[in-house]
Amino acid sequence: MATFEDAGYFCVDNLPPEMIAGLAELFQHEGSKVERAAVVSDVRGGAYFEGLIAVLDELDQRGIPHRLLYLEASEDVLVNRYKETRRRHPLAEGAASGGSVASAIGAEWDLLRPLRDRADVCIDTSELSASRLRKVVADKMLPRGKIGKLAVTFISYGFKHGTPRDADLLFDVRFLPNPHYEAELRDLTGLDAPVREYVEASDGIDDFFDRLTPLLDYLLPQYEREGKAHLAVGIGCTGGRHRSVVIAERLAREYRDRDDLLVDVVHRDAGKPPLRA
């Protein structure tokens, strides 16, 4: 919601679906100062939520332009989020769930499936921080003119933990010597000077950057020209703690000085325990 508010949208959270059509009609009246609106509707609305499909059909029939954004996450991530926030799932007390959060999530998926099937944009938030989610939403939903500079996020990750779901470009740096096999470096990360110096001294790293940097220099304006607002560049190694962190940090340093970019760096797996043989 903050993403849309920052872009000048009129935002309403947890609006009963039956009121969406009326709100749209109100904004169409002569003299209305609202040009764009964003509405959040979910199962908190209880029985009222089931009418959302009919409301969307009505908007289609009336020719009111709209887009449907669907946010989802994996079951284990959702369960952990409810545990961390200590919030009760809206469907947790239903007969179908038996009071279980996991069962309530399953019931919610069944209820939402028709909406997911007709969504214009689906975003899996499982691996997204709040700041990265804002960038992805802006990229997928907002007009290019509302964004400004191209936002580039360099994401270090470990292949053993899976590739980032929202990455646009992926580069594999497992060809570089692995600090994991150096006993004094294993428990450190690429944010520590000894690991950084070890990776930066690797044979072939200069040749790698001599090829990678010109490629990015070519691709970034091409993506921007096509209306891209946010580009996620994944840098992967085995565990995501050493080589990928060093490379992502170096790329972030190199591109932060450019006036036409907003650069961020995320180390997804650097805080995970070292992999053991």
Q: Are 262 and 151 in contact (CB under 8 A)?
A: yes
In a domain, 240, yes or no: yes
Confirm whether 275 is domain-assigned.
no
The DSSP-derived string for the chain is -HHHHHTT-EEESS--THHHHHHHHHHHSTT-----EEE---GGGGGGGGGHHHHHHHHHHTT-----EEEE--HHHHHHHHHHHTPPPTTTTSTTTTT-HHHHHHHHHHHHHHHHHT-SEEEE-TT--HHHHHHHHHHHHS-GGGT-SEEEEEEEEEGGG---TT-SEEEE-TTSPPGGGSTTTTTS-TTSHHHHHHHHTSTTHHHHHHHHHHHHHHHHHHHHHTT--EEEEEEEESSSSSHHHHHHHHHHHHHHT-TTEEEEEEESSTTSPPP--
Q: What is the pLDDT of residue 173?
A: 97
Do 100 and 183 fall into the same domain? no
Q: What is the pLDDT at residue 47?
A: 58
Split at pLDDT 50, 70, 90, the class of 95 is very low
Average pLDDT value over all residues in the chain: 86
Whether 276 is covered by a domain: the verdict is: no
15 located within any domain: yes
148 pLDDT tier (thresholds 50, 70, 90) = low
Shared domain for 156 and 93, answered yes or no, is no
Domain-embedded: residue 274:
no
The Cα 264–Cα 120 span in angstroms is 27
Per-residue pLDDT, 252? 96
For the chain, what is the domain count? Answer: 2
**9, 38: one domain:** yes
The predicted pLDDT at position 106 comes to: 86
Which of 113, 141, 169 is the C-terminal boundary of a domain? Answer: 141
Same domain, 209 and 229: yes
Check whether residue 13 and residue 134 sit in a common domain: yes
Do 136 and 172 lie in one domain? The reply is no
188 and 158 in a common domain: yes
Q: Answer yes or no: is pLDDT of 216 > 80.
A: yes
Residue with token string 């009326």: 22
pLDDT at 91 over 60: yes
Tell me, what CATH number does 127's domain have?
A: 3.40.50
Instruction: Give residue 43's identity as a one-letter amino acid code.
Output: V
- Could you tell me if 136 and 15 lie in one domain? yes
Q: Does the pLDDT value for residue 144 go beyond 70?
A: no
Is 38 a member of any domain? yes
Q: How many CB atoms lie within 10 A of CB 193?
A: 8
Q: What is the structure's pLDDT at 214?
A: 96
Q: Check whether residue 134 and residue 225 sit in a common domain.
A: no
Q: Is the pLDDT of residue 161 over 70?
A: yes
| Domain, as residue range, for 107 | 2-141
**At which of 84, 107, 141 does a domain end?**
141
- Is residue 84 predicted with pLDDT exceeding 60? yes
Same-domain status, 92 and 108: yes
- Residue 169 counted as domain residue: yes
Could you tell me if residue 170 is inside a domain? yes
